[in-house]
Amino acid sequence: TSIPTINDEYYKQIFVLTQERLQVLLDNFKNKIDIVVIDEAQSISDEIRGMILQDCLDKISIQNPDAKYVFLAPGAEGFNDLADIIGIDTIHVEKTNLSPVVQNKIIIKVDPAKENNLQLSLLDNSNILSIGELTSTRGFANENTRLAAVALELGKDEGSLVYGTGAANAEDVAKQIASGLPLLENDSDLKELSKFIKKHVHKDYSLANLVLRGVGYHYGKMPSLLRETLEKNFTNNKLKFLVCTTTLFQGVNLPAKNVFIDTPTRGNRGEALDPASLWNFAGRAGRLGYAFSGNVYLIDYDDWETKPLDSKIDFKITSSFKKVINEDFDTVISRLDKNNHLGVSQYSNVDAAAGLLISRAAKGDLHNFLERSFRTIPDKSKLEIIEDATYSSLESLNIPHNILTLNWTVDPFGQERLYNRFIQKIKDGKIDELIPRHPSGNVYTNYVGVFSRINKYILNHNTSKFSNYLTAMALNWMRGKSLPEIISLSIAKKKEKNSTRPVNVDRAVREVFDFVEDNLRFKYVQLGKAYIDLLRQALIVNNQAEKAEEIYDFPLSLELGVSSIAGQVFIELGLSRISASYLENIIPNSNPTISTAKEWLRNNDYDSLNLPLTIYSELEDKGLL
């Protein structure tokens, strides 16, 4: 769940959450955590999110040295880094390289002189064995459409995953594939899916039409219910093709008969993919209980700059924090110096590492944290340099140390600037304008002020234009406005700027998805949490504790996309924002508890409610009916 409730009446509780939510939980949870299960454990290597995970695991191990850990990672090595983090000597590893299904890696080559022919070869480790030629009525000479053409030729009868280098590329490839397929007019499930997309994303979103031909596209910043619905329709063989980005490389157990890949790169700049990630994606071909064999088609593999699928490559588990310290030691030391934080805050991995060091110094356990993180470091003098620089940095910060332990992913020097601004405004008697209010009502000016202060003092960069746009988007999002409404407003703004040029709806939808996920649900959740923690502290030290009670927890509403109690309760039950927003408008109780919401869901007459099928299916999948 996104917002786990700590219930003291329960003898035991199980929390299923992200590392960001675990971080918040640990700040408020006083009991010991006994068992920790980490799926996709290689994500400890993932930049700032990896550092958050390490920080959480370290806190749990300090709180309960006897805690048990289970780490799950596909084809990974390097578990000793995890052992260091949780303070044990070794981790018992159970590993198998045996696959319960046969996976055929097939190289596809096209001779421009014979454009209707595909040359097929089997890749067995680095050995290439010729299979033969396939002749088609279709031509394959055009490199821009070759991936779609090959997928149509070889994958149209069974579920096929097709790799797209990014969201826009996935859309383009999906459109090319769909153009070669008939309309499935009599499929009621696909009609319902199309209707759902039009109603809950946008009526002109191309995906709504593509699914009617059995084709979908999938990328990480889509709303969760949309992603899950696409995955479900693919698993049920309603969608024959799903074009996906690297988001599907891990986490989602989505088997396919065929996987099509035409490049070992990602994004517009052709950034090289981690070979282990590519192997993980190729592993989607064939799954026990789904298909006894699977085909991985490697298009133009001979022309790839690297040959990552010649031999199996495992994920290398490496602490992101440890990697940054080892590779960017001098830069980390530099970023611990207050004088190097005068420009616009970019908050990189190096800044996050510096912030984590300062937070541990503020907590008083920096030395032990470094000893645990670098148990095998050959040059211990480096740790002494880090300690000296960190404590010097801490002493330069005029801010209560307890605050620095809460929000280390936010620039501590920016936090100091904002805290000092709060102190000044409180002394000037301007407390009310600092306090974020509930998003309902006339609060636009209030939130322009909140976001402007965050941008100006924490980020060292503020433009009224962006703060105004951010406020409008944030309020619509927190109020539970539907995506079609938010997207339509964005499109209207684009038309205002250029009334003669037609708006690309797919691009507008992507931009809204990006803004929601990158800014509203991530960046400004972290910044917003720092804002309210700093404001609460500033009010308390100025004998205004009663005013601190008025602070609205807007970062939670930003993360969830709802601000009503009913909406938050439905999300706590594990439902998507789309379902929660729909249900909060029909439950005759604006202040339900978890138990009363469950009871209402289970005792309803769903024929009379006329719920959209997709929302009904989510309730069914979550066991809430």
Residue 252 pLDDT greater than 70, yes or no? no
Quick one: tokens of 285?
């071909």
Average pLDDT, the chain: 91
Place of tokens 């590392």: 19
pLDDT at residue 1 greater than cutoff 60: no
What pLDDT score does 254 carry? Answer: 82
Give residue 198's pLDDT: 95
At 40-79, the pLDDT tens digits run: 898 899 999 999 999 999 999 999 999 999 999 877 888 8
Task: List, in order, residues 6 or more apart from 496 with CB less than 8 Å away.
Answer: none
Is the per-residue pLDDT at 591 higher than 90? yes
SS3 label, residue 564: coil
- At residue 147, the pLDDT reads 97
Q: Which of 17-26, 113-122, 555-564 is predicted least confidently?
A: 17-26
**354: which residues sit within 8 A by CB, 6+ positions away?**
332, 335, 336, 390, 393
Strand order of the β-sheet with 258-261 is 127-135, 117-124, 102-109, 293-299, 258-261, 160-163, 241-244, 215-218
Q: Which whole number is the average pLDDT over 13-26?
A: 89
Residue range 469-489: average pLDDT?
95
List Cβ neighbours of 314 (8 Å cut-off, separation of 6 or more).
75, 76, 77, 276
Give the pLDDT band (50/70/90) at residue 4.
low
pLDDT of residue 625: 87
Q: Which two tokens stand for residue 232?
A: 């479900």
Q: What is the pLDDT of residues 316-365, one digit of tens each?
A: 888 999 999 999 999 999 999 998 887 777 778 999 999 999 999 999 99
CATH architecture for residues 1-96: 3-Layer(aba) Sandwich (3.40)
Return the exposure string of 109-148: e unless at least 16 CB atoms fall within 10 Å of the residue's CB, then b. bbeeeeeebbbbbebeeeeeeeeeeeeeeeebeeeebbbb
What residues pair up with 293 in beta bridges, in sequence order?
A: 102
Length of the chain: 625
Give the least confident one: 126-140, 247-261, 580-594: 247-261
Q: Which CATH class is domain 102-311?
A: alpha beta
List, for residues 185-231, the tens digit of each pLDDT value: 899 999 999 999 999 999 999 999 999 999 999 998 999 999 999 99
Domain boundaries, the chain: 1-96, 102-311, 320-396, 412-560, 565-621
Residue type, 532: I
Q: What percent of the chain has pLDDT over 70?
A: 98
**How confident is the model over 534-558, as a mean pLDDT?**
96
CA distance 105 to 127: 11
Q: How many CB atoms lie within 10 A of CB 324?
A: 24
pLDDT tier for residue 175 given thresholds of 50, 70 and 90 = very high
Give the pLDDT score at 127.
87
Q: How far apart are CA 453 and CA 467, in angstroms?
A: 9
Looking at residue 269, its pLDDT comes to: 81
Contact in structure between 213 and 195 (CB atoms under 8 Å):
no
- pLDDT at 3 (0 to 100): 66
Over residues 407-420, the pLDDT tens digits come to: 999 999 999 999 99
pTM here is: 0.91
Q: pLDDT: is 83 or 539 the higher one? A: 539
Whether 450 shows a pLDDT value over 80: the answer reads: yes
**Per-residue pLDDT band at 153 (split at 50, 70, 90):** very high
Mean pLDDT, range 263-285, rounded to an integer: 85
The pLDDT-based confidence of 250 (bands split at 50, 70, 90) is low
The two domains 1-96 and 102-311 share their CATH topology (first three levels equal): yes
Buried b (16+ CB within 10 A) or exposed e, 33-65: beebebebbbbbbeebbbbbbbbbbbbbbeeee
Note the pLDDT of residue 38. Answer: 94
Question: Between 80 and 409, where is the model more confident?
Answer: 409
% of the chain at pLDDT higher than 90: 68
- CA 623 → CA 42, 575, 618, 619, distances in Å? 30, 11, 9, 6
Q: Residue 121: which pLDDT band, with cuts at 50, 70 and 90?
A: very high
